[in-house]
Amino acid sequence: MTRKIADDSLLIEQAKRGNKDAINALVEKYADYTQKSVLKILHKMNRQGKYISDTYKSHGNVFADIEEDSWAIAHDVLVKAMGSIERFEGRSKLTTWLWVIAENHIKTLMAQRSRKRTRLFFHQSEDDEVAANIIETAGATPDLFVDDFEDKEVMEAVLDILYADDFNSDQREAILYFFVQELDQKTISEITGAKVGTVKKRIHDGLKKVRKKLAQEDLM
């Protein structure tokens, strides 16, 4: 154990000085650990309903998506870790440091995918294969407003209201995350940086505006 710590310390110090052999040695040594760590994090997120697959690479099977994702994400995590190895101060184990980087990277990635799905869901035509797949598998449309996605008149009215120039962008974002992506308010808070109470108010105030507009158009 002492020998392993000593070996790691030497490799880390050499890596900090830009030694490519040391960097490659660390990557090779911790590749398996990083992939397994990423896999655990992704499965945990999936159990919490927070995992979002890559829209363009999805197999239609969440477990297959997670397995494939884990390898690509682990690679990115190691690249990021080695690119900032000089920041590692040795106060914790290297494995702990890698785990933290993996968690933060995945959290950011899921937020990016969530935003991408929202854009695709609302801006691609129904003839678009990707958009059609999202409509079928993402779980949805805001059911407070429409009973079925085929109700195009209501859906178009909702979209017109949400994307009107005078509609508050923060309220629109909160509504889309909550009803379309089905994210809980705590997760929305983490993604947007707003307090949970603020997220609740944005959803509440935004829905009041949407309902009022729909009522004016005799669509409620």
| pLDDT digit string, tens, across residues 93-112 | 899 999 999 999 999 998 88
Tell me, yes or no, whether 95 and 161 share the same domain: no
Give this prediction's pTM.
0.55
Residue 130 maps to a domain: no
Tell me, yes or no, whether 77 and 157 share the same domain: no
Residue 37 maps to a domain: yes
Residues 86/13, Cβ–Cβ less than 8 Å: no
pLDDT score of 134: 36
CATH number at residue 188: 1.10.10.10
Domain encompassing residue 9: 2-113
Rg from Cα positions in the chain: 22
Q: Which residue has the tokens 């050499």?
A: 14
pLDDT score of 211: 84
Q: How would you class 57 by CB atoms within 10 Å of its CB: exposed for 0-12, middle for 13-18, buried for 19 or more?
A: exposed
Query: Mean pLDDT for each 10-residue chunk of the chain (220 residues)?
Result: 62 94 95 96 89 70 88 95 90 91 92 68 43 38 39 73 88 81 77 88 88 79
Tell me, yes or no, whether 39 and 79 share the same domain: yes
Alpha helices in the chain (DSSP H): 2-16, 20-47, 62-83, 94-123, 129-137, 152-162, 169-175, 185-192, 196-216
